[in-house]
Amino acid sequence: MMRRLKRALAPSGRSPFFSQTAAVLTLPMALAYLGLAWTVTHYFYLISPIWPSASVAAAGVMLFGRAALPGIFIGSYVANNYLMQWSPLGAAIASCGNALGPLIGTYLYRKITTEDYFDSTKTVGLFMLMQGGVASLFSALVGVLGLSLMGQAAHAGSWGTFLSWWVGDLTSVVMLAPALYLWGKWLYLGERYPHEQEGHRELVLTSVMILGGSLAIFGFPSVGSVLHIGSMALVLPPLVWAAQRYNPRIALTLFATLYIIAMGGTILHRGPFGEFDLGAALTALQLMGASIGSGILIASVLDFQRRKVTTHLREVNETLAERVAERTLALSMSESRMRHMLEMTPMPILVTELTTSNILFVNDECLSLYGMTRAQAKEVVPKDLWADPRDREEIILRLKAGEAIRNYEAAFKGPQGDMVWFSMAVVLTQLDQKEALLFAFKDISAHKIREANLITQATTDELTGLHNRRQVLELYHRLIEQPSHSTEELTLCIFDLDHFKNINDTYGHLCGDQVLRTVAEIAQQSLREHDILGRWGGEEFILILPGTPLRKAHLLIERLRQKLSEMTILCEGGNFVLVSASFGMVGGVLDQTGLSADLFDIWLSQADAALYDAKNKGRNRIETHPPHFL
């Protein structure tokens, strides 16, 4: 029975409107759509600034194509007509928009690519554009038309109504639809994530931190404090952790649950936005959530790509090792036969003397891989080609200890002076009555480059090339874990470009980007090699100066301030821009008592306060915490 149900619900972008799949889906889709709509209609009349049902519609069409449309239309019509008290005509028109919007988004997505959703950063961007942008825009336009036909001209003609509708659908789709889609694929296709975490304790702890933190933040009554608003950032580290450790389905489900808790608390006038106007608070919360959700989704997809590359390499290496083992056993019968079969082996093979590393045998595949002729190979001593000679020594020690060497990755000096990476299987053998090492190679240079690029994308700010916020935090934690730094003084500095918004408004964002890049270059040139510099957000940068007392750091940062204030930046179009920056500094001594991680947040808050003090005192200056320390 379950197999027949899964076959009936098999995803298909070409399903007819009234197929077997549509018949099975209609009632569940309608109930899911109606159930989510029911949760918000208690608080809003005619128009709701939040509409989680849009995520059901988007995920349904992404999974099942046109077969999901009848259920979406029925659920939407009942919600609009009976729950929101729309007229039958207005409800029908709005329901057409709610059903056709996701279909249009899916159609445009498939016109551009055949890749599955959330397989790469490209498909994430297309999902946000087509389902989040185009589909929601279409639904909002048709919905406003429905309002006008049911006599609500004041609402229909309001720009705020249209914007609220669009933002509500867009954010619901971006934050909830990915989790629904991935759960649908897992339930009906049984997809398994590469190297998925098997242990549950870490997942339970991460979930408790995210959900418990969100309940604490959005469950308590609003106190109207800026700190209450800032406390929302506390759930970001465990969210990023989940995105890097678990499959996107789990990470996005945790984020979607957090979003639902935040929305529920705000509707009940609790949490950081409890004292604000409900409509404006929900819209602001949705925009913040959409931005964070996009980041979590991209981080999960980047990690997913890395895991796929790792899985592919592992499969290739396992196959390679098995083939080498089988052939080595057969070739041990005779050296002549061994040479013949090694030459015929369709993979690069190299045999070197154990002690001297002189070449005893090399096949054509290996020569081709390394770009050498046999004459050139005679002049080469292979042990000189290892990028790290300790790799060869380790392999020999492990082989002599009886270990099997499979999937061993090492870097070699390439024929053009570049670096190449090989995955190899190595066995001890004999050839020409000499102890020898037999290597079977696989070129994995392209995979290593791709893996390095993924790591760079995850740790580097794309515009300036500096560390991003996540990498700055990682480097700080590495710093405090080093016993040698336990009694060192450390200075933390936040600096912000003065009147940067005016530069963007006057000369354009391209000029603003050029200013940020130039400031980053000047700052890097002004700092020492072991200093940590990152872009904290917008036009704000962060400096961590290890082993540097506050007085000494002040001299270094003053030189940076002077360089920036004396600098003139030429933007495209021939515009010259003058820049300056305000700095906030704080310093202290690290310790190993377990408080260093908490000190960062304290110091960051104090440096931020000093920065605002510098702004209030006229900008282009340095202030410390406590004030007048120097």
- Residue 95 belongs to a domain: yes
Distance (Å, whole) CA 194 – CA 250:
14
Averaged over 361-388, what is the pLDDT? 77
- Residue 132 belongs to a domain: yes
Does residue 162 share a domain with residue 13?
yes
Return the residue matching tokens 């109930």.
31
Q: Which range has the top average pLDDT, 24-28, 286-290, 548-552, 569-573? A: 548-552
Residue 18 reports pLDDT greater than 60: no
Residue 68 reports pLDDT greater than 80: yes
Looking at 160, 191, 222, the residue that finishes a domain is: 191
Minimum mean pLDDT range among 295-309, 398-412, 515-529: 295-309
Q: What is the pLDDT of residues 116-125, one digit of tens each?
A: 887 777 888 8
Does residue 536 share a domain with residue 432?
no
Distance (Å, whole) CA 214 – CA 601:
19
Residues annotated as catalytic are 539
Q: In 374-468, which residue ranges form alpha helices assigned H by DSSP?
A: 374-378, 389-400, 445-459
Beta strands at 434-443 and 349-353: parallel, antiparallel or unpaired? antiparallel
Distance (Å, whole) CA 546 – CA 4:
64
Query: Which string of b and e fits 428-460 if b means at least 16 CB within 10 Å?
Result: bbebeeeebbbbbbbebeebbeebeebeeebeb
Q: In terms of C-beta density within 10 A (0-12 exposed, 13-18 middle, 19 or more buried), how is residue 572 classed?
A: exposed
Minimum mean pLDDT range among 74-88, 226-240, 467-481, 506-520: 226-240
Please choose, from the candidates 579, 600, 555, 577, the residue with its C-alpha nearest in 3D space to the C-alpha of residue 496. Answer: 579
Distance (Å, whole) CA 407 – CA 275:
59
Does residue 474 share a domain with residue 540?
yes
Minimum mean pLDDT range among 217-231, 252-266, 411-425, 578-592: 217-231
Beta strands at 489-497 and 540-546: parallel, antiparallel or unpaired? antiparallel
Looking at 252, 274, 298, the residue that finishes a domain is: 298
Residue 340 reports pLDDT greater than 70: no
Q: What is the pLDDT of residues 506-546, one digit of tens each?
A: 888 889 889 999 999 999 988 888 889 999 888 899 999 99
Provide DSSP, 420-435: EEEEEEEEEEEETTEE
Minimum mean pLDDT range among 9-13, 70-74, 127-131, 600-604: 9-13
Classify residue 547 as left (phi > 0), alpha (psi -120 to 50) or beta: left
Does residue 165 share a domain with residue 219?
no
Does residue 469 share a domain with residue 436?
no
* Sign, Cα dihedral of 83, 37, 288, 132: negative
Looking at 137, 166, 191, the residue that finishes a domain is: 191
Does residue 149 share a domain with residue 72?
yes
Distance (Å, whole) CA 321 – CA 324:
5
Does residue 419 share a domain with residue 342?
yes
User: What pLDDT shows up at residue 494?
Assistant: 95
Does residue 126 share a domain with residue 32?
yes
Minimum mean pLDDT range among 78-82, 109-113, 453-457, 565-569: 453-457
Minimum mean pLDDT range among 336-345, 397-406, 563-572: 336-345
Mean pLDDT computed over every residue of the chain:
78
Averaged over 29-54, what is the pLDDT? 74
- Residue 160 belongs to a domain: yes
Domain of 280 in residue numbering reads as 198-298
State the total domains in the chain: 4
Please choose, from the candidates 98, 69, 100, the residue with its C-alpha nearest in 3D space to the C-alpha of residue 84. Answer: 98
- Residue 454 belongs to a domain: no
Residues above pLDDT 70, as percent of the chain? 82
Does residue 378 share a domain with residue 234?
no
Does residue 434 share a domain with residue 350?
yes
For residue 432, give the CATH number of its domain.
3.30.450.20
Does residue 609 share a domain with residue 570?
yes
For residue 88, give the CATH number of its domain.
1.10.1760
Amino acid of residue 417: G
User: What pLDDT shows up at residue 195?
Assistant: 47
- Residue 165 belongs to a domain: yes
- Residue 398 belongs to a domain: yes
- Residue 316 belongs to a domain: no
Does residue 431 share a domain with residue 496?
no
Distance (Å, whole) CA 578 – CA 498:
10
- Residue 309 belongs to a domain: no
For residue 519, give the CATH number of its domain.
3.30.70.270
Confidence of residue 153 (pLDDT cuts 50, 70, 90): very low
